Each structure stands twice: as C-alpha cells, then as structure tokens.
Amino acid sequence: MKKTIHLIGPAGGGLNSIEEFLLPALQRKGYFFYAYRNVMSRVRGGSNRVTITFSSSPLRSFDEKADYLVLMGKERIEDALMHAKEGALFLVSTEEECTTHSVIRFPKEKLQEFSRHPGSLGLAALGTLFAMLGLGRSAIESIQKDSWTEDTLLANRGLAEYGFRLSESIPERADAPVSGTILGGNQALAIGALSGGLEYYSAYPMAPSTGIISFLSAVEEKEGIFVDQAEDEIAAVMSSIGAASAGAKAMTATSGGGFALMSEAVGLSAIAKIPLVIVNAQRPGPATGLPTHTAQGDLYQALGAAQGEFARVILAPGDIEECLYEANRALDLAWKYQVPVIILSDEHLSDSSVIMRPPDYRRLKNERYLAEQGSDYKRYDYNRISGGFKYPGYDESIILNDSHTHLEDGFYTESPDLTVRIQEQFLQVLEAIRADLEPPSYYGPPRPKTILIGWGSSKGVLKDVVDQTEGIGMLHFRHIYPLPIFDQTLIKSCRLINVEMNSFGQFGKYLRSEIGAEMDASILRYDGLPLSTTYVLEKLEKL
C-alpha cells in the first residue's frame, strides 16, 4: 500500500504545523514516509505544497500526484486537479463544484465556531485523515505546541475532533511503530558534522541551508559548540577558517549566491592548508533565481571556485541518510588532508523528511590528525600528504599560515622550483584523496541495456525508475571530485542517459572530461521542481 497526501495553501496558513502533527502519527502506526516541502519565496500568501507519500514499505522518493488533497486558504479544486490521481479525494472549505473527484467539505461557518485562524481547515482535515487512515483518535492528543495558549490548544483539538467525527466509522489501525527518527536533510548534515567533532559553525542565513544553523543553535549549549550568525557569507567563511587555524573543527553553509562570495576563501584554505567544510544547498540561479526551489546547477561553480589549481574535495549525498555520513566524512577528509571540502546538497534534500534508522557508528570518524608534539615542525612540509596538523598553542612550535606560495616553515618564496614542488604536492594529495573515496553505486540488473547516470539527490528517484522498468540500471555518484577509481566495463557496453537537475548536463560533461564517457541522451529538469519517478519515466518513454 502506498498513498500520497498534498497539503496546499498559503505561507503562514499552517501547512508546516499540519505536517509536523501528521508525520509522527504515521510513524506510530507503522508507516514509512517521504515528505517534501515545495514553497514560494514569500513570508505570507502564495501557494505552497507539502507532499507526503507514505507506505507500509520503505520509500526512496515521493509521488507527484496525490490520493488526498487538503486545499487551504483560497486554493481552488480546478487549479489542483493537475496534482490529483484518478479517484483522489479533496478536502475543502469552499462550495466549488467538482464532477471528476470526491469532495469532503468543511463549512466555514462550522470551522469558525472553533477558530477564525486561516489554518482551521487544515486542523479539521487532519482529524479526518487521522480517521480515514486508521491512525486513531489518540493522535489528536499529539496536536500541541509549547507556544499555544490553553484556549488555542482546546480550539485546535476541537477542530481535529470535529474532522475525525466525519469519518469515525473507519476502523483504527493497530500500533506497529516504525523505529527511527524523523529527520530532514539539513538536520542530518548538522548531526553528521557533530558526530565528526564539529566545534565551530558560522553562517549567514540563506535558504535552503538555514535549517542547519537553526538546528545547531538549538543544541549549541548541550553539545558544547559555538554557533555564530555572521553578518554575511564572507565573514562566515573567514571566521570558519580562523577557527580551524586555531584548532577548532569548523564548518559553514550557504547556497549558490553565498558560495560565490566564499570563492576566494576556498583558495585561502587550500594554499594555507587550513581545513574547511562548506555546505552548498543548491537552488536555481543565477543571482536570486528561485530561492525556495531546487537545482543541481552549481557543480561547475564548485569545481572552479577560486583561482589556480589545488586539491579540493566535492561530495554530493544522495539521500538524507547519506547527508549524515557525508557531513561526517567531510570533516574527516578536511582535517586529514588539510583541504577545502564542499558538500553539494540541494533544496530537495534540505526540505525533505524521512524516518531515519539509527546510524552505523562504525562508519563515523572523529580524528584530528595532529602532529606529534615537539618544536621540530615544518608547517608546510613538502613531503607530507596527510595528517601532521598543528595550531598555535598546541606546543612550542611556531605556526605561520600564509596565503602566498611559501617555504616549508611558512615564509614567502617565489622560487620556481618550490612553486612546482607545491603544485606537485597538490597532485599527490588529490591521488591520496581519490583512493579514500568510494566508487559510484550500481543498482539494477546484471546485464542492463541502458544505464541512468545520476549524482546527488537523484538517487532515490532513479532506483524507483529501475524497479519499474526492464533492462535499465542506475549508476549513482556521491563522491564527485576527485573522481573515484571504479570499474568502467559496464558503462562501456550500455546506452548511457544522463539525469540531473540543470540545463547544461553539467555532470555528464564532467564525466566525459574525466573518463571519456559519452552520453547517448539526457533527461534534464530545470524548472525548480525536484526530479520524480513520474517525470523520469515520462521522459524515458519519449526517448
């Protein structure tokens, strides 16, 4: 069994609260889910949509079309028909007629007996969903917030009780809770960084990465870390470099526009060998673009950030579970090799939620790779590939961090021979990192005719596509640069279709430049909406 709910309404109309109450109720009754928020860039008004696909089996993606649609605010059935499956049920408070689908109406006059808040329909519809999905009347007791007054609490529970009674003849589902924690992508990135020893986090709030600083600031005192809301992205990245140079494991996060401002600091991290982790939660550009929508358009930016050639790492988690592990890996690689590490997330991952099982703690690392104490220390030892980090005050060693081409002790040099030596050291570090990264994961039949090439957040959708087709496999990359070593036999004998969320086919071109792999076709989405199984299947059929 798999069903999808759409909550559609204006910003400020209570959509997020309805989702907040519905997800734990689904989990308690034994359902897995994949929830995604698609919102407009405004504080109030507009037309936002929360999509929740739930199932008795684990999910890797959400369905674009819904079985149940809750229309709040001024949303019209006519406009929402494009999101409805055949036989879908609408829950509305309007008198609008619909001859193609079933409708449950909640008269405004009845809703106003409880509350005049614009989100009153959502709470009544929530109660109806509790009943129709067999989640039980007890779920109504979970409808509460610390910020509510007693009167508000009673009114909101009264709305849910009213909605529940409309369908109370539906039998309740027995409790069989799914174990795990409800997590979004930003929360998983934050927890992964904490597991890697994060001590300092500085960021300027920029959607869709803001959830990271929101989470970390909430646990700052408990976790014993320092969280700083900087005045801009340049201050955020420079203070992170400063903190790391003083021995603190540091990270920052932003989106494409903020990452553009951080570009010069990426080069400083590289030449000064100061560990740096940057999360770029991608959204459509250029400039402000679509600030609350999703894309994979910043790969070129990450590959080329800062002038010159140097060692860097680019990671792109494929799902929320990988967000945790790759954030942990990012801190580990940054400190092991003293390089900048860029995590390419996106709005789709940031604003999605799933039930995440307990992590495999054996995969998590928290090392500092410090040099042995003693004053006989060369900050920029040309023969050192990894480890050996020291910070001022660690011992009696003198530490010089320099943005110039430098001698091993940190002093400036213009020697051509030493310039070559430093550049060759970058190349050696890259090869060492390459050996530390994991090859792309293959999913599908042993002898596919076609392989879908994907990276980052496309992972779950492409797996679902493979499950619904014959003769098609998927090769997914989460370690992007340097490109890991992997067996290329399979892709040399198959038709290759590049699937990503940009219009240039950036990863396909990057893969061709690295290993000569030619794409036979591409499925590219660049309208600000995330890839979905339906979208990819429709494009595949045309191909």
State yes or no: pLDDT of 375 exceeds 90: no
Decide if 117 is inside a domain.
Answer: yes
- In SS3 terms, 459-516 reads as HHHHHHHHHCCCCEEEEEECEEECCCCCCCCCHHHCEEEEEECCCCCHHHHHHHHHHC
Tokens describing residue 370: 């410090």
Percent of the chain at pLDDT > 90 equals 90
Residue pLDDT, tens place only, 51-87: 999 999 999 999 999 999 999 988 999 999 999 999 9
pLDDT the model gives residue 166: 86
Q: Could you tell me the sign of the dihedral formed by the alpha carbons of 186, 531, 474, 509, in that order?
A: negative
Decide if 455 is inside a domain.
Answer: yes
Chain-wide mean pLDDT for the chain? 95
Percent of the chain at pLDDT > 70 equals 100
Counted domains in the chain: 3
Which CATH number fits the domain that encloses residue 33? 3.40.920.10
State yes or no: pLDDT of 380 exceeds 70: yes
Q: What is the C-alpha separation between 208 and 227, in angstroms, rounded?
A: 18
State yes or no: pLDDT of 169 exceeds 70: no
Residue pLDDT, tens place only, 222-277: 999 999 999 999 999 999 999 999 999 999 999 999 999 999 999 999 999 999 99
pLDDT the model gives residue 41: 85
Decide if 410 is inside a domain.
Answer: no
Decide if 394 is inside a domain.
Answer: no
User: Do 206 and 309 belong to one domain?
Assistant: yes
pLDDT the model gives residue 184: 97
User: Do 193 and 154 belong to one domain?
Assistant: no
497 in Cβ contact with 452 (< 8 Å): yes
Decide if 432 is inside a domain.
Answer: no
| 295-299: average pLDDT | 98
Domain end (from 109, 130, 165): 165
pLDDT the model gives residue 174: 81
Decide if 30 is inside a domain.
Answer: yes
Q: Residue 87: count other Cβ atoms within 10 Å of its Cβ.
A: 9
User: Do 358 and 495 belong to one domain?
Assistant: no
As a whole number of Å, the end-to-end CA separation of the chain is 30
User: Do 199 and 136 belong to one domain?
Assistant: no
Residue pLDDT, tens place only, 334-362: 999 999 999 999 999 999 999 999 999 99
Which CATH number fits the domain that encloses residue 457? 3.40.50.920
Residue pLDDT, tens place only, 102-139: 999 999 999 999 988 878 999 999 999 999 999 999 99
User: Do 99 and 209 belong to one domain?
Assistant: no
Residue pLDDT, tens place only, 189-218: 999 999 999 999 999 999 999 999 999 999
User: Do 266 and 329 belong to one domain?
Assistant: yes
State yes or no: pLDDT of 374 exceeds 90: no
Q: Which residues contact 489 (CB under 8 A, 6 or more apart)?
A: none
pLDDT the model gives residue 12: 85
Q: What is the C-alpha separation between 448 and 450, in angstroms, rounded?
A: 5
Q: What are phi and psi of 9, to 5 degrees?
A: 175, -175
State yes or no: pLDDT of 298 exceeds 80: yes
Residue 497's domain comprises 441-542
Decide if 49 is inside a domain.
Answer: yes
Domain end (from 301, 332, 363): 363
Domain end (from 311, 341, 363): 363
User: Do 56 and 124 belong to one domain?
Assistant: yes
| 155-167: average pLDDT | 92
Q: Indicate the angle between helix axes 185-195 and 320-337, nearest 10 degrees.
A: 40
User: Do 161 and 186 belong to one domain?
Assistant: no
User: Do 104 and 248 belong to one domain?
Assistant: no
Rg (CA), the chain: 25
Of the listed ranges 54-68, 103-117, 429-443, 504-518, the one predicted with least confidence: 103-117
State yes or no: pLDDT of 168 exceeds 80: no
Q: What would the DSSP string read from start to end of 330-341?
A: HHHHHHHHT-EE
Alpha helix segments (H runs only) across 175-255: 185-195, 210-218, 220-223, 233-245
